[in-house]
Structure 1
Amino acid sequence: MDGYSCSETMQVSIEWIGETDAARADVDAFIVLVSPQGAQDGSMRQAWNSLLLPLMERHLFQGAPFQTYAVPLQGRGESRTVIFVGAGERPLTSEELRVAAAQAAKAALKMRVKTLAWELSAPLVAFTAEQNAAAAAQALTEGMILGAYRQRQYKQNASDYTGIEQLLFLRKGSVSAAEKAEWEQGIRRGVAYAESTCLARDLTNLPGNMLVPEGLAEAALNVAAKHGFESSVLDERQLAELGMGGLLAVGQGSVHPPRLIMIRYQGRDKWDDVIGLVGKGITFDTGGISLKRRAGMEEMISDMGGAAAVLGVMNALGTLRPAVNVVMVIPAAENMPGGGAFKPGDVIRSYSGRTIEVLNTDAEGRVVLADGMAYARELGASKLIDVATLTGAVLTALGDVATGAVANDDTMLEEFILASKRAGEKVWPLPAYKEFWDMLKSDVADIKNSTGSRGAAITAGLFVGTFAEGLPWIHLDIAGTAFLAKERGVNPKGATGAMVRSMTEWILAQEAKEK
């Protein structure tokens, strides 16, 4: 994999300027957040008011939330543009601010802009419901980077435009040292969250012939090397020696053998209270012998979206360096219907020692996660989150709008859902009643990998949770949210990097609890 298409080179910074200095910024375009009242009462810079009022009189721009309108600036030698972004009349939440910034970035991309200045005519907290400068700075930064994402192209005559390279926030007026520190903290966190999400998007968008289990392992090792993390990759011979029967079974139908990937981040002196992140890494899923239908199978490049998400989290941790301990495990395989493929009716022995009755080879994700969960526990995890594009059933329940969650610890799940709200991602809890656990019982093995269509998103998650062995655990089913048919909010068409920001936010909250 030769580089990422998200703009890791986008430089984001802030300058504190005088009232008349904004126009001197050496950029291709300005971004101005506009409320209808602000445009009417003349509180904005005169140069912007003179452009805005005619637009509003002609109903071309009303300052409605997320509305954008670009106007070329006039004058001798002037070649710049101003992009007006509507804020509406009420304060914006952080998520709404993210979306507004993403819309501004998309408008800038259409004009092939490389350098941008976001002019903040007043303390931005005046626009935000949270009234928090750090949250506002983070939301704006995330929104701009996420909105500026461009999926890698493989066309012969691809454009030479490389995207937005620089974003400069211009904050007018006096500012306290505390507010300045909050802005810088928010920008730093926003860059880490957004770039890590883009990393997950890039990996998930890679065509199946360009990302096989070995290639996913190489990408993970690159992340580890970048941040100086301990890492390892187990090949098929080592997996067999350890008895990783679930991962080996799923991968045995492919010419590309499976891999088990580990990265360890130690942010505390002692290796205790370890968070385990386990991501499903099926680099392509045909369904195996239980072959999928042809229509839509090309989107199965996204079946390693869980692996991409946990890799994105590790990248964010490498930048932010919180005082937490995290071990990441990715069981990676390609599910193919080859001559050696595992079959319905097979009974396989997982790394935990539990036997699994295979009723559906297209329910392979939970089988590899079983080995991943057991390995994470062995490496010291005391609480676990698994994330996976696990079931079509979650799409039936929640569409492509929300991630489904199943857990065995209500407090942990509630804390995670609060973190997801701060991150601007939607997570919906599904019940984990005893009756659903009972549906997993097999007549011939310890557990079966499919329970049919009833409660399928729940029982699939609970299958994975069985291998948490009673440790606090959350399962996140991103089958609907990891890959979109069309852009929405801060997310593009294709891979979204779902749950990178939520998981990172939850982990940072764990650090804050201990302070």
Structure 2
Amino acid sequence: MTAAKATTKKASEKPAKSANTNNNLIQFSTKVLDPVKHATQCLVVGCYEGIKLSASASAVNAADAQQVEALLKREGFQGKTGQSLLLLNPQGIAAERLLVLGVGTPKDGNISADNFRKAIQKISEALRPTPCTEITLALAEISVADQSVEWQARQVAESLSLLDYRADKLKSKPADISLKLKKVIFGATKAQATGATKGLLLGQAIAKGVNLARELGDLPGNICTPTYLANEAKRLAHKQAKLSVNVLEEKQMKELGMGSLLSVAAGSDQPAKLIVLEYKGGTKKQAPIALVGKGITFDTGGISLKPGAGMDEMKYDMCGAASVLGTIQTLLELQLPINVVGVIAASENMPNGSATKPGDIVTSMSGQTIEILNTDAEGRLVLCDALTYTERFKPKAVVDIATLTGACVIALGNHATGLFSNNDELAKALLKAGDEAADRAWHMPLWDDYQKQLDSNFADMANIGGREAGSVTAACFLSRFAKKFPWAHLDIAGTAWRSGGAKGATGRPVSMLVQYLLNQV
């Protein structure tokens, strides 16, 4: 047996053909297995801190005359959370490779949910240099505090299904990768099998929605236009009895009085779209939950032009819309018995001769007038009309999702989504869902004290409130259009994508939104 240390680079990912063929490429299944006799390209086992082997790891160690333990000690492996060691050509067992994952120190016999997630996320990284197409996980025996085997299987499927998407499909020659995972077997006892299978299906469904949101976010603005988003919504509804789509054109929006939304589209050759998706999985009497997404497919800032450096990342200004479509995708996979409305306000923000100018005053669908002091604060201008339009569905609750403010990035970084709400019960439900899905948010203030920053001498309000508390005043602006329903605003400017060498959409907060809907069911 020889040892190979896992690389520290992020794992390469399996390509999806396009947003129109976002299929599950990895097949997951549950099986009762003997870790010594089970034939697989790679067997994955756990190890607690202090080189305390799990039951399966101990069985493998015994079959190999204690060589596994000896190699772990030789390589300095301690079993800390996030450590991994890939052993090649293990003797005494049927597996071709053995991957040992560190799961940390248990407390009262259980490891934390966070430690389990961290361990699972190391699998693709550790196997990156290998040509594995199938792996088997003997991890159901690892007891996780306050979590079931169903939950464990869900984490496995969510994490590994992210390999179904790669961002380089538009390259003439996408990079060749070694790891082409096609099959994952989750080892479980007979008593655990039903729950594990359910967890795998749920994890796959969530990952499929996340991957759709990632793909839409990563597409360039010359491909992913408002029309493209509308067509993507129609694709989701194709042959789906529970989902219908209606796309409002600019003429219809003008008739409805959406002067605020249309002011953003005024400078673009691309027509704006208001995309309305209705998922009817519940009863007719059940009030829907509405998800409202900001869909600015490219944001130059308009006349208030952004600096050129990093402007390419403004293709991600439609990630709120992408998260709505991703969540709907998962709803379709799960066929949840719930009613959900998705409303996407899609437009470009461009600076041509017809573009809205700083100082212009527009009338929103609600009848409130807005002095546009900065055309780069356009997300709230499209969302306010979308929120007013959503009133017609008499929603139980409304959650808008938007890459709204750079100020939120300064406040929370890229770890937590900013959450604002006019309803504490709704805010708590979303925070709980975020914690459960490891897609966390932080509750920000929405006090009346901030509202006065939006005062205007010439209109009912200004669209910006100055540099101080920029994410709060943006939420205060939206709150003026959300008085007729419980409402929450998720500012995902810091969490929707990564910059730098790992540039790419994250698919957040699809996991949080799906968990919130699951909890409502």
Instruction: Tell me if both proteins adopt one fold, taking TM over 0.5 as the criterion.
Output: yes
Query: Which residue of 1 is the match for residue 185 of structure 2?
Result: 168
- The 10-residue stretch of structure 1 (254-263 or 131-140) with the greater mean CA deviation from structure 2: 131-140
CA distance in 2, matches of 1:361, 1:486: 27
Query: Which of 136, 161, 185 pairs up with 1:145?
Result: 161
CA distance in 2, matches of 1:38, 1:79: 21
Query: Which of 207, 213, 217 pairs up with 2:230?
Result: 217
Query: Which of 45, 65, 69 pairs up with 1:53?
Result: 69
> How far is the alpha carbon of 1:131 from its aligned partner?
3.8
Change (3 A) 1:344 1:6: same
> How far is the alpha carbon of 1:217 from its aligned partner?
1.1
Change (3 A) 1:57 1:168: same
CA distance in 2, matches of 1:140, 1:427: 23
Question: Quick one: which amino acid aligns to residue 159 of structure 2?
Answer: G
Query: Which residue of 1 is the match for residue 7 of structure 2?
Result: none
Query: Which residue of 1 is the match for residue 453 of structure 2?
Result: 439
- Asked if residue 494 in structure 1 is aligned to residue 504 in structure 2, the reply is yes
- Cα displacement string for residues 177-229 of structure 1 (whole angstroms, at most 9, x for unaligned residues): xx322212211111111111111111101111121111111112112226441
Question: Quick one: which amino acid aligns to residue 168 of structure 1?
Answer: I
Query: Which residue of 1 is the match for residue 116 of structure 2?
Result: 97
CA distance in 2, matches of 1:325, 1:44: 49
CA distance in 2, matches of 1:158, 1:239: 41
Query: Which residue of 2 is the match for residue 135 of structure 1?
Result: 151
SS in 2 for 1:348: strand
> How far is the alpha carbon of 1:159 from its aligned partner?
3.2
CA distance in 1, matches of 2:84, 2:314: 34
Question: Quick one: which amino acid aligns to residue 499 of structure 1?
Answer: P
> How far is the alpha carbon of 1:348 from its aligned partner?
1.0
Query: Which residue of 1 is the match for residue 297 of structure 2?
Result: 283
> How far is the alpha carbon of 1:147 from its aligned partner?
5.9
CA distance in 2, matches of 1:324, 1:413: 20
> How far is the alpha carbon of 1:134 from its aligned partner?
1.6
CA distance in 1, matches of 2:514, 2:173: 38
CA contact (8 A) 1:29 1:83 kept: yes
- Cα displacement string for residues 373-399 of structure 1 (whole angstroms, at most 9, x for unaligned residues): 111212332311001000000011111
Change (3 A) 1:149 1:88: farther
Query: Which residue of 1 is the match for residue 194 of structure 2?
Result: 181
Extract unaligned runs of 5+ from structure 1.
none
- The 10-residue stretch of structure 1 (103-112 or 443-452) with the greater mean CA deviation from structure 2: 103-112
CA contact (8 A) 1:72 1:79 kept: no
Query: Which of 65, 73, 84 pairs up with 2:100?
Result: 84
Query: Which of 133, 138, 141 pairs up with 1:119?
Result: 138
CA distance in 1, matches of 2:382, 2:321: 12
CA contact (8 A) 1:6 1:150 kept: no
Question: Quick one: which amino acid aligns to residue 494 of structure 2?
Answer: G
SS in 2 for 1:381: coil
Query: Which of 307, 315, 328 pairs up with 1:293?
Result: 307
> How far is the alpha carbon of 1:416 from its aligned partner?
1.1
CA distance in 1, matches of 2:390, 2:381: 15
> How far is the alpha carbon of 1:470 from its aligned partner?
3.5
- The 10-residue stretch of structure 1 (350-359 or 197-206) with the greater mean CA deviation from structure 2: 350-359
> How far is the alpha carbon of 1:437 from its aligned partner?
2.2
SS in 1 for 2:136: strand
> How far is the alpha carbon of 1:139 from its aligned partner?
1.6
Extract unaligned runs of 5+ from structure 2.
1-15
> How far is the alpha carbon of 1:6 from its aligned partner?
6.7
The total of aligned residue pairs comes to 497
CA contact (8 A) 1:7 1:165 kept: no
- Asked if residue 482 in structure 1 is aligned to residue 496 in structure 2, the reply is yes
| Aligned pairs (5 A) from 1:261-410 | 261-410=275-424
State TM-score, norm by structure 2: 0.89
CA contact (8 A) 1:117 1:167 kept: yes
CA distance in 2, matches of 1:357, 1:114: 58
CA distance in 2, matches of 1:148, 1:385: 28
CA distance in 2, matches of 1:510, 1:256: 37
Query: Which residue of 2 is the match for residue 510 of structure 1?
Result: 520
Query: Which residue of 2 is the match for residue 257 of structure 1?
Result: 271
SS in 1 for 2:85: strand
- Cα displacement string for residues 104-153 of structure 1 (whole angstroms, at most 9, x for unaligned residues): 02322332432221123x634x2x11242221121222122236643234
Query: Which residue of 1 is the match for residue 9 of structure 2?
Result: none
Question: Quick one: which amino acid aligns to residue 236 of structure 1?
Answer: E
CA contact (8 A) 2:274 2:345 kept: yes
Query: Which residue of 1 is the match for residue 244 of structure 2?
Result: 230
- Cα displacement string for residues 11-44 of structure 1 (whole angstroms, at most 9, x for unaligned residues): 111112346442x24xx32222222443399734
